Structure formats: C-alpha cells, structure tokens
C-alpha cells in the first residue's frame, strides 16, 4: 500500500439459544417458549438466511467427535438430519432430509430448502443421532407480485469480539417484529488477540490460514446474543474488509504482507471459503453480490465492494477521479445499474458496505471547477477524507448516479455500515451544488455493534470531541442531515408504500453483555422525494 494512505482508524482519529416469534408483513407472532438445553454437538447454534418466496437457507455446525473442533480438519463424515415445520412442536413437518458434512467443509451444514409457501413463518431443527439442535424460526419472502403493506429489517455492521459484547444483537432478537436482519459487513475481525480486549480472539494471532478463519467464525458463533439473533429470523449478509483483512482491495490489503503472509489471492480464497461455510448466504462460486425480492414493495441488492475494487489512493489525491479505477468492478456495476432500472419493486434498497454519500472538505461544484482541479491534481468534487469508501472511486459513483438520473429511478435507499458511526444523508448528483443539484437517492448508515469509534480511538470521554466533528461534517456537507460518531448499537428499518424510516438504537455500555439500548434518532424518506427528514418517534415495536 502507498505509505500516505490512511486506514479508517487513522481517519477517525484524525477527525477527532431461545427462539423468538417474528412479525412479518404486518402480522405479529407471539414469542415462543425458551428452548431446552442444546446438545453440545450443536454448540454453534442454528441460522437461516437469504429468504426467497419459495425457499430459505438453513445452517448449522456439528461436532460429531471430540477431535472435530473447528479448523482441525479432523473427524468423520456424518449425515445430519434436518426438518422444517409450520409449528414449533413439529407436528406439521413440511420438508425434511439429510445432508452429509465432514472436515472438508469444517462440519458445517447449509441446506437450501425449496418448495415452501411465500410469506410464511417456519420452524426448523437439525439431528445427529440422538443429538438435537436448538429450534430456529425463519420466514420466506412474499411472492414477487404480492402487494406488501410493511417490511421491517434489523440493520447492523462491525461486530468486533474483542472490543465489546453483542447486546445489540440481543435487542434485535427480542423485538420480535423483524422480517430479516441485514448485516452489512465486518461480521468477524481478522486481527490477533489484543492485550486490552474485552475478550480475546481465537486464534490469538491474525487470521491467515483456512483453519484460522474457520476458528474465528466458530468463536463468534458461540456468542449467546448472536446465536439468539440467528435463531430468531433470517439474516441477509455481505462482507466488508475484515472478513479477510483490513482495507482489502482486489489485489491486497493494508495489513497483508506478502513476504511473511504469502500470496494475497490464496489468503482471500481461504477467507471466502470459511465465510461461505459458516454463513447462511447464497453464493455462486466466489460471487457474493445478489438480489432478493420482497413482493412489489422492495428489492434488496447486496453488494460486494472488496473483491473487485482497485487499490485505494491516499486522501486528497486526484486519483480518486481516475475513470479506470473501480470500487465495484465493471460487471457488478452493470448488474447494479440494470437492477435499479428494471426493478419491478417500489423501493430499491442497496446493501452497501461502505458509504456512498460524499463526505468532502469542502464539497466543490465539479461541473464548474473540475477542469481546474484536474490540472492541480486534486479531486474534482473536493478533498476526499476517506478514499476507502465511494469517495475514493468518484467515477463509479458518477456512473451510478447518472444512471439513476437518466432513467428517472425513484425511491433508491442505500443501507450502509463500515464507519462505526450513524448517518442520515441525501445523495446529491453534485454535492458542491446541493441543494441546487437535487438529491437522487438517500442513505442511512448503521453504527457499529461493538467496534471502536471516535471517542474510543481518541481515548477521550464520550461526547467530548464528537459533537465538534459532527458539527463540522454537517456544516461542510449540507446533504448530511445527521451524523453521530460516538455510539454503538443497532438500527431498525421499516419499509411501507408511503416511506422508509430508519430508527437508531444506542447501547448504554458495550462492555456489558446485558446492556440496555435506547432510541436515539429516526429519519424518514417519503416515497418519490429522495430527501431525508427527521421523525420525532420511532417505529412502535410490533405495531402496524
């Protein structure tokens, strides 16, 4: 990497298992009773993901013998039974079967159950001999042509095992009114054990080998709050960088040293293999970007913004405008553009691991000053603080926003993680001319579940330097309607034909696994407006 390149930590510093019922499509299911003690053979819980109208992925991991520990490569090939029913007592089983697993896939099981009914709640479990897993609850998506009155999603990212507990996951599991949870990246972290960590990473060194990545995924899935969330509703996930290595790009990463850590492509392949084994995601070979439809109301395009991107350039560098540099890669960008233009759903939701709205110092009118700035070797749209996000790949962003404008695409909402802070933004075609240059989309950024943010990185008490930074960011970037850089938690997104609203819930103390969360802020974008507005009240839990 180029020496002046700042990683996001430097950027921030410089800036200053029981099952639970689920509400889907407006109908409330009551909370299920607590499950019985789980057999140690299923010590990593159960999960579901990527729901379709007629299918859902079911996941678990088995430990058939004492030596069959994650990453060991040891143990026999076994047949694991599964069943899915419309009731938690399994009196009405609608499908069942077996799946073989062994050390070649780290004894994980991932079953794509088809032939299901749309918009239906199901209960599922696994068997290995006399051992029985916890019971999980999941839900299929509405039929593609269904008129849906309401959807609710949890939105989370950046859950660092060492830097705090996962009480934010517990909050989402306890709500009982979510169709699914969107995890927007950094589900696990690659770093070695930290001397001052709340709880130590396993293995204690940075993940490099396939066994390392498998063990780290396994460790995270022993967390009681994460297990509970997975057992409550389906998860729709994408990766960011820490599932492989910090500030990853297609040919390397900020903390990958080829001379001591080997070939980066081989390391990434190992990380991806472990991810696909341990996560309930649909993938075609190594391709993770995909699209999920929820009736006529919403379509979710989940992006992969690490595997195909060009190497980052330093901050305040005119290379951010290079049209040959890409954050998506040409094929994924064309897929995203075509999906937005041709979607039959009202709301186009984009699961986006890094921020798309400009954050520039200052934002400049590119159409007026662009040629001069190009001569000076400066970014056309203003100084780029964080070239790891879409700001560092301005040509791709212009192509994407240009497609939205040229095709009059309405109701596009980017849902983002990565930067350990909370944001509500308009996304203008030209930030330097905003609001004369209108907003063409909106963006909601979820804060971190536990990963350090401004106050912790700076080593200062909460809400000391944060408000100063927030004021400067919103003053310089008028399309940024709100930013909060100090708190951790989870968000809830409600989608209706009238509007999309995001509620932010913040943890009282991320070091406390039993920490409460409280509502902080709510912003809404009304249909057809592409402008975010503050809302006084959060979405009622379980309400219509």
pLDDT in tens, 431-449: 989 999 999 999 999 999 9
pLDDT band with cut points at 50, 70 and 90 for residue 62: very high
Comparing CA positions, the residue from 420, 425, 442, 429 lying closest to residue 402 is 429
In a shared domain, residues 363 and 495? yes
Q: Which of 120, 140, 160 is the last residue of a domain?
A: 140
In a shared domain, residues 135 and 238? no
Q: Indicate if the pLDDT at residue 218 is higher than 60.
A: yes
Tokens of 171: 């909050």
pLDDT at 170: 98
- Mean predicted confidence (pLDDT) in 387-399: 97
**How far is residue 335 from each of residues 268, 328, 329, 369, 404, measured CA to CA in Å?**
23, 10, 10, 31, 13
- Mean predicted confidence (pLDDT) in 216-228: 98
**How far is residue 529 from each of residues 97, 298, 379, 422, 524, measured CA to CA in Å?**
48, 16, 29, 22, 10
* Least confident stretch, 206-210, 310-314, 382-386: 382-386
pLDDT at 364: 67
Q: What is the pLDDT of residues 497-543, one digit of tens each?
A: 999 999 999 999 999 999 999 999 999 999 999 999 999 999 999 87
Cis peptide before 362 (omega within 30 of 0): yes
Per cent of the chain over pLDDT 70 is: 90
pLDDT at 362: 72
In a shared domain, residues 465 and 526? yes
The total of other beta-carbon atoms located within 10 Å of residue 103's CB is 15
Helix (H, G, I), strand (E, B) or coil at 479: coil
pLDDT band with cut points at 50, 70 and 90 for residue 381: confident
pLDDT band with cut points at 50, 70 and 90 for residue 22: very low
Q: Indicate if the pLDDT at residue 9 is higher than 80.
A: no
Domain, as residue range, for 95? 38-140
Q: Please count the structural domains in the chain.
A: 2
- Mean predicted confidence (pLDDT) in 268-294: 98
Looking up residue 133, the CATH number of its domain turns out to be: 2.60.40.380
Q: What is the pLDDT of residues 417-432, one digit of tens each?
A: 999 999 999 999 999 8
pLDDT at 366: 67
Tokens of 214: 């498998």
pLDDT at 377: 59
- Mean predicted confidence (pLDDT) in 96-121: 98
* Tokens 């839900």, located at residue: 139
pLDDT at 367: 66
- Within 364-495, strands assigned E span 382-384, 412-416, 422-428, 439-445, 480-484, 489-495
- Within 5-86, strands assigned E span 46-52, 55-61, 78-85
In a shared domain, residues 314 and 277? yes
Q: Which of 109, 140, 171 is the last residue of a domain?
A: 140
Q: Indicate if the pLDDT at residue 368 is higher than 70.
A: no
Taken in order 228, 229, 232, 236, the sign of the CA dihedral is negative
Q: Which of 140, 167, 196 is the last residue of a domain?
A: 140
In a shared domain, residues 136 and 166? no
Q: Indicate if the pLDDT at residue 248 is higher than 90.
A: yes
Taken in order 133, 186, 288, 154, the sign of the CA dihedral is positive
Cis peptide before 261 (omega within 30 of 0): no
CB 526 within 8 A of CB 489: no
Cα–Cα distance, 409 to 404 (Å, whole number): 5
Burial track 488-503 (b if 16+ CB lie within 10 A, e otherwise): bbbbbbbbbeebbbbb
Is 411 part of any domain?
yes
Q: CB within 8 A of 366, min separation 6: which ones? A: 380, 381, 430, 432
Q: How many CA atoms lie within 13 A of 166 on its CB side?
A: 26
Total residues belonging to the chain? 544
Is 221 part of any domain?
yes
In a shared domain, residues 146 and 89? no
Comparing CA positions, the residue from 162, 167, 308 lying closest to residue 225 is 167
In a shared domain, residues 31 and 63? no
DSSP 372: H
Query: What's the gap between Cα 475 and its chain centre?
Result: 28
In a shared domain, residues 47 and 156? no
pLDDT at 544: 56
In a shared domain, residues 52 and 187? no
Cα–Cα distance, 101 to 297 (Å, whole number): 38
For the chain, give the mean pLDDT: 91
Is 2 part of any domain?
no
Is 228 part of any domain?
yes
Burial track 190-207 (b if 16+ CB lie within 10 A, e otherwise): bbeeeeeebeebbbeebb
In a shared domain, residues 385 and 489? yes
Q: Indicate if the pLDDT at residue 13 is higher than 60.
A: no
Is 25 part of any domain?
yes
Cα–Cα distance, 362 to 134 (Å, whole number): 53
Cα–Cα distance, 15 to 421 (Å, whole number): 12
Q: Indicate if the pLDDT at residue 8 is higher than 80.
A: no
DSSP 12: H
CB 74 within 8 A of CB 294: no
In a shared domain, residues 103 and 21? no
In a shared domain, residues 100 and 166? no
pLDDT band with cut points at 50, 70 and 90 for residue 385: confident
Looking up residue 325, the CATH number of its domain turns out to be: 3.60.21.70
Comparing CA positions, the residue from 160, 56, 45, 166 lying closest to residue 108 is 45
* Tokens 């069942």, located at residue: 96
pLDDT at 12: 39
CB 280 within 8 A of CB 183: no
Taken in order 315, 319, 323, 327, the sign of the CA dihedral is negative
Helix (H, G, I), strand (E, B) or coil at 326: coil
pLDDT at 543: 73
Is 86 part of any domain?
yes
Per cent of the chain over pLDDT 90 is: 83
Q: Indicate if the pLDDT at residue 266 is higher than 90.
A: yes
- Within 63-118, strands assigned E span 78-85, 93-101, 108-113
pLDDT at 32: 37
Cα–Cα distance, 448 to 160 (Å, whole number): 9
Cα–Cα distance, 49 to 57 (Å, whole number): 5
Is 230 part of any domain?
yes
Is 451 part of any domain?
yes
Cis peptide before 435 (omega within 30 of 0): yes
Comparing CA positions, the residue from 203, 242, 280, 237 lying closest to residue 46 is 280
DSSP 120: -
Higher pLDDT, 542 or 482: 482
Q: Indicate if the pLDDT at residue 31 is higher than 80.
A: no
């Amino acid at each position: 990497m180029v020496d002046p390149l700042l990683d996001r930590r430097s950027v921030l510093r410089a800036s200053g298992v029981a099952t639970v019922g689920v509400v889907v499509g407006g109908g409330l299911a009551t909370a299920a009773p607590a499950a019985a003690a789980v057999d140690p053979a299923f010590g990593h819980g159960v999960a579901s993901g990527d729901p379709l109208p007629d299918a859902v992925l079911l996941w678990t991991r088995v430990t058939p013998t004492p030596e069959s520990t994650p990453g060991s490569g040891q143990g026999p090939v076994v047949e694991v039974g599964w069943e899915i029913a419309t009731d938690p007592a399994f009196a009405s089983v609608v499908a069942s079967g077996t799946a073989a697993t062994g050390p070649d896939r780290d004894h994980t099981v991932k079953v794509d159950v088809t032939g299901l009914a749309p918009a239906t709640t199901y209960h599922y479990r696994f068997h290995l001999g006399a051992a029985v897993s916890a019971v999980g609850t999941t839900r299929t998506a509405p039929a593609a042509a269904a008129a849906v009155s309401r959807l609710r999603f949890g939105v989370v990212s950046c859950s660092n095992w060492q830097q705090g507990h996962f009480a934010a996951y517990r909050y989402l599991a306890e709500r009982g009114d979510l169709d699914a949870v969107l995890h927007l990246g950094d589900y696990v972290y690659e770093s070695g054990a930290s001397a001052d960590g709340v709880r130590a990473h396993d293995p204690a060194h940075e993940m490099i080998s396939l066994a390392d990545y498998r063990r780290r995924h396994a460790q995270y899935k022993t967390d009681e709050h994460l297990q509970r969330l997975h057992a409550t509703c389906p998860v729709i996930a994408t990766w960011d960088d820490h599932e492989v290595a910090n500030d990853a790009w297609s040919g390397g990463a900020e903390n990958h040293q080829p001379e001591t850590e080997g070939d980066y492509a081989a390391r990434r392949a190992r990380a991806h293999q472990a991810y696909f084994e341990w996560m309930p995601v649909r993938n075609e070979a190594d391709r993770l970007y995909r699209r999920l439809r929820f009736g006529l109301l919403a379509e979710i395009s989940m992006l992969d913004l690490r595997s195909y991107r060009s190497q980052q350039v330093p901050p305040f560098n005119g290379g951010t405008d290079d049209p040959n540099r890409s954050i998506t890669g040409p094929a994924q960008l064309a897929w995203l553009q075509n999906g937005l233009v041709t979607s039959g759903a009202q709301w186009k939701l984009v699961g986006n691991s890094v921020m798309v709205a400009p954050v520039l110092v200052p934002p400049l009118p590119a159409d007026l000053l662009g040629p001069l700035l190009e001569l000076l070797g400066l970014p056309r749209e203003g100084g780029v603080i964080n070239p790891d996000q879409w700001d560092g790949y301005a040509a791709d962003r212009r192509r994407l926003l240009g497609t939205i404008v040229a095709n009059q695409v309405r109701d596009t909402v980017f849902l983002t993680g990565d930067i350990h802070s909370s944001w509500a933004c308009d996304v203008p075609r030209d930030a330097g001319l905003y609001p004369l240059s209108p907003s063409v989309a909106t963006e909601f950024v979820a804060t971190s579940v536990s990963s350090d943010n401004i106050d912790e990185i700076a080593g200062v008490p909460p809400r000391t330097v944060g408000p100063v930074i927030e004021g400067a960011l919103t003053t310089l970037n008028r399309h940024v309607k709100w930013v909060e850089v100090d708190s951790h938690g989870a968000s809830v997104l409600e989608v209706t034909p009238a509007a999309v609203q995001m509620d932010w819930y913040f943890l009282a103390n991320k070091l406390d696994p039993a920490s409460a969360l409280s509502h902080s802020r709510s912003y809404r974008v009304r249909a057809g407006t592409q402008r975010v507005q503050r809302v006084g009240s959060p979405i009622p839990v379980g309400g219509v």
